[in-house]
């Protein structure tokens, strides 16, 4: 077992700041923890073994009751050299005035999506302009493009404004829905039609790349469109989106496994915001996508596919969360593990996003590990 000890994303570049399982001790686990016991820097044998139990465990099965091969979640201790990065990040977060509070919400498919109706304010800037229907386009290079994540967020926020009585009609919501319909391809993909340099590799996605976050947000939009209209075309669109989303990255889809953490995790899944091999395992995109799959679980005739996938994703989330804690702040992704030895990537505003998405997902799952990390991450900053 292994011991596992910066840039802007497409959604950041819009000039807006929006956005442990049941453990069993085995001889293999004890022997694999031996190196940790030898260099535990003052930790007692009991404390190291306890950490191993929390982070390495996994036996048995997923929430759906199916038996799974034994999983090994590598023991993880934040590198001591990251302490200053964590404390400086927390101080910068506080001084910049970031806050998770306005977006905290007990989540409902019927409601304002994580309170975007309150917190999103749309305006034209040097990097954002509106098309004739009022849908935002984002500047990449010298041109403006539709960004599927931005389009979906636009629709969701105006749906929330309508629910709150801040807008008298759903015109802008439907404009966003219609634009997603035009972006959606016959295979269910919502593609980005601009190149994007991936910070972890220095290589570029070429036009036509896909993202699990875009797929998941689209599911949340189509679920609300169906609830409002009962038009079956939105169920058809959502099924296409979900089916593409759940395709493995190796086959062109957006669902990755976790073998980059440990070979035994090849059956564990994550909805990948940035599909690449190895995966960077971006946290916010994964959780936004989970909300989309949850929304699709509420739709008729979902055939249990969304529910089964959500269960597997929840299994991953509760086990993977410790790796994002760098000792006083949350990392944007796990590049510090899967692309080791890079430093943890910090996105200050995303620490707030992590808190309110954990709150939303806990509200629909009652999973105590999600609450534990919501409170831990919240406690690392002022608000």
More confident residue, 101 or 3: 101
Lowest-pLDDT choice from 12-16, 82-86, 243-247: 12-16
| Collapsed DSSP state (helix, strand, coil) of residue 59 | coil
Chain segment 163-174, per-residue pLDDT in tens: 999 999 999 999
Long-range contacts (CB closer than 8 Å, 24 or more residues apart) made by 247-254:
249/275, 249/276, 249/277, 249/279, 250/277, 252/210, 253/210, 254/210, 254/211, 254/212, 254/215, 254/289
pLDDT at site 69: 64
**How many other CB atoms are found less than 10 A from the CB of residue 107?**
21
- The average confidence (pLDDT) of the chain is 86
Q: What are the angstrom distances between the C-alpha of 82 and each of 47, 172, 200?
A: 21, 44, 18
Among 48-57, 97-106, 368-377, the minimum mean pLDDT is found in 48-57
Q: How many CB atoms lie within 10 A of CB 363?
A: 15
Where are the chain's structural domains?
12-379
178-198 residue pLDDT tens: 999 999 999 999 999 999 999
* Residue 2's pLDDT band (cuts 50, 70, 90): very low
How many Cβ atoms sit within 10 Å of the Cβ of residue 147? 26
What is the C-alpha to C-alpha distance for residues 343 and 127, in angstroms, rounded to an integer?
Answer: 29
Percent over 70 (pLDDT), the chain:
82
Give percent of the chain above pLDDT 90: 80
Question: Tell me, what's the pLDDT at 58?
Answer: 39
The highest-level CATH class for domain 12-379 is mainly alpha
Over the stretch 291-329, which tens digit does the pLDDT of each residue have? Answer: 999 999 999 987 799 999 999 999 999 999 999 999 999
Amino acid 301: pLDDT: 80
At 30 the pLDDT is 26
pLDDT value at residue 47? 29
Looking at the predicted structure, is the pLDDT value of residue 206 above 90? yes
- Strands of 47-189 (E only): list them: 128-130, 136-140, 143-145
Rounded-to-integer distance, Cα 11 and Cα 326, Å = 23
Report, in angstroms and rounded to the nearest whole number, the Rg of the chain calculated over CA atoms. 21
At 66 the pLDDT is 52
> In this predicted structure, what is the pLDDT of residue 53?
27
């Amino acid at each position: 077992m292994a011991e596992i000890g910066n840039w802007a994303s497409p959604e950041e570049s819009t000039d807006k700041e929006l956005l442990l399982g049941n453990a069993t001790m085995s001889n293999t686990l004890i022997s694999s923890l031996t190196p940790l016991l030898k260099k535990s820097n003052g930790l007692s044998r009991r404390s190291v073994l306890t950490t191993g139990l929390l982070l390495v465990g996994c036996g048995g099965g997923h929430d759906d009751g199916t038996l799974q091969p034994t999983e090994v979640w590598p023991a993880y201790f934040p590198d001591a050299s990251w302490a200053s990065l964590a404390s400086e990040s927390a101080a910068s977060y506080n001084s910049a005035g970031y806050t998770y509070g306005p977006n905290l919400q007990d989540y409902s498919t019927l409601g304002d999506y994580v309170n975007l109706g309150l917190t999103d304010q749309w305006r034209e800037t040097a990097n954002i302009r509106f098309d004739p229907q009022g849908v935002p386009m984002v500047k990449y290079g010298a041109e403006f493009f539709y960004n599927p994540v931005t389009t979906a967020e636009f629709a969701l926020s105006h749906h929330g404004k309508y629910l709150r009585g801040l807008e008298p009609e759903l015109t802008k919501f439907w404009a966003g829905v219609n634009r997603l319909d035009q972006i959606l391809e016959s295979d269910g993909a919502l593609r980005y039609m601009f190149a994007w340099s991936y910070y972890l590799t220095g290589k570029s996605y070429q036009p036509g790349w896909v993202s699990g976050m875009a797929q998941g947000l689209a599911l949340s939009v189509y679920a609300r469109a169906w609830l409002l209209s009962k038009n079956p075309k939105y169920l058809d669109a959502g099924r296409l989106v979900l089916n593409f989303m759940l395709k493995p990255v190796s086959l062109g889809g957006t669902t990755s496994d976790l073998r980059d953490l440990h070979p035994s995790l090849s059956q564990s899944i994550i909805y990948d915001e940035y599909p690449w091999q190895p995966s960077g395992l971006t946290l916010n995109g994964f959780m936004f996508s989970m909300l989309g799959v949850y929304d699709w679980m509420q739709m008729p005739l979902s055939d249990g596919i969304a529910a089964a996938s959500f269960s597997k994703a929840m299994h991953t989330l509760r086990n993977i969360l410790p790796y994002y804690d760098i000792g006083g702040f949350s990392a944007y992704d796990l590049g510090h593990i899967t692309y080791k030895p890079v430093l943890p990537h910090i996105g200050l505003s995303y620490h707030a996003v992590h808190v309110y998405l954990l709150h939303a997902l806990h509200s629909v799952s009652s999973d105590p590990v999600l609450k534990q990390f919501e409170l831990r991450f919240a406690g690392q900053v002022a608000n």
